[in-house]
A = this chain, B = another copy of it.
Amino acid sequence: MTPPPAISDAVTIELNAVLVALTGNQPLVLTLEDGALLPSGPFATEHPTLQSGVRAWVERQTQHPLGYVEQLYTFADRNRPASDGQRRVVSISYLGLTRERLSAGARDPEWRSWYRYFPWEDWRAGPSPLVAQTILPQLSTWADAAGAVAQQRERRQRIDVNFGDGVENWNEDLILQRYELLYEAGLVPETLQERNRAAPSAVEPVPGMPMRHDHRRILATGIARLRAKIKYRPVFFELMPPEFTLLQLQRAVEALAGRPMHKQNFRRLIDQQGLVEPTGASTSETRGRPAKLFRFRREIVLERSVAGTKLPLSRPI
């Protein structure tokens, strides 16, 4: 145990951002180079903290304030040397939510639906047919190809836990684990590039656009974090316009979760938790009965500490 803070070799820090916005019921993520990369930036000495570094750099580029920023993960990839060929790169990734998006339709910083990268994650219209028809059969082949019987069983169990049967037992939070499983099974192009550059694999990769480096993995991490977070913290308001109808809010949450929700119960929950208040106005932009407009009650975030415990704490003291 080295008492004084130990000093290691020098490394270079790279910041990566998963920037999320929401338009027309699509969850969007900011990409570069024809969707092949997430925005990356330097961490320069002038920034007092990492978070302020991310904010400064993103806001300068997008001209829009970041509503919410959260650190995702830090890792050091041995396979990715710094471009100066010398130092190792440590990348720190962040999730950022923003309310408006810049330059819709622009080519280089471009907003894309994240379901282009993870088409199997969109279950808003029911079970994604990709899972049952394409993914599960291929994963099944992979499981059978394992050497030992024990390993076959283990693979099958992991497949079952993470993908269910294609209809039931789908847990939208497991997006990262699912991507990792596909990666391990060699069913995403990223694997091929890395392992079989010389000898391309025989299996057809699963649909879904790849990214360079590990960026699709970082994106999966961001989506997973966001999907988990909305269940106990109303961060989705950071993505909404100042006023909205309850159906718009529901569609937004569904876009993030990738799952349909029960309309009446959704309203009941939002209402019970006192998350919104009516503005008094209503809108007739929809076809049917005009919907009341609501705004988010910002105070609530301070008021509540929310937490869904699973352990039998005695008395709600």
Which A residues contact B (CB, under 8 angstroms)?
Answer: 1-14, 32-33, 37, 39-45, 47-50, 61, 71, 73-78, 80, 82-84, 87-92, 108-109, 123, 127, 154, 157-158, 161-162, 167-171, 173-174, 213, 230-232, 253, 257, 259-262, 265-266, 268-269, 302-305, 307-314, 316-317
Contact = CB atoms under 8 A, between A and B. Distances in A.
Contacts of A259: 313-314
A78 B90 contact: no
Contacts of A173: 307
Given A75-B49, A171-B305, A230-B311, A4 B266 contact: no
Contacts of A77: 49
13 contacts: A1-B32, A3-B33, A3-B37, A5-B83, A7-B84, A8-B43, A9-B12, A13-B76, A50-B90, A74-B92, A168-B316, A171-B307, A259-B313
B10 A5 contact: no
B49 A2 contact: no
The 9 A-B pairs of least Cβ separation, nearest first, read A265-B312, A8-B42, A6-B42, A10-B10, A74-B74, A231-B310, A262-B314, A8-B43, A1-B61
A317 B127 contact: yes
Given A6-B42, A10-B12, A157-B303, A49 B76 contact: yes
Contacts of A37: 3
Given A11-B13, A71-B73, A268-B312, 19 more contacts: A1-B41, A1-B108, A2-B40, A3-B32, A3-B33, A4-B83, A5-B89, A7-B82, A9-B45, A10-B87, A157-B302, A158-B302, A161-B302, A167-B317, A232-B310, A262-B313, A266-B311, A269-B310, A308-B308
Nearest to A257: B311
Contacts of A253: 311
A127 B47 CA distance: 42
Q: Which of A74, A232, A259, A311: most chain B CB closer than 10 A?
A: A311
A262 to B, nearest CB: 4
A260 B266 CA distance: 33
A232 B171 CA distance: 14
A13 B232 CA distance: 33
Contacts of A7: 12, 14, 42, 82-84
Given A11-B13, A92-B74, A109 B305 contact: no
A90 B13 contact: yes
Nearest to A301: B161
A262 B50 contact: no
A157 to B, nearest CB: 5
A55 to B, nearest CB: 14
Contacts of A157: 302-303
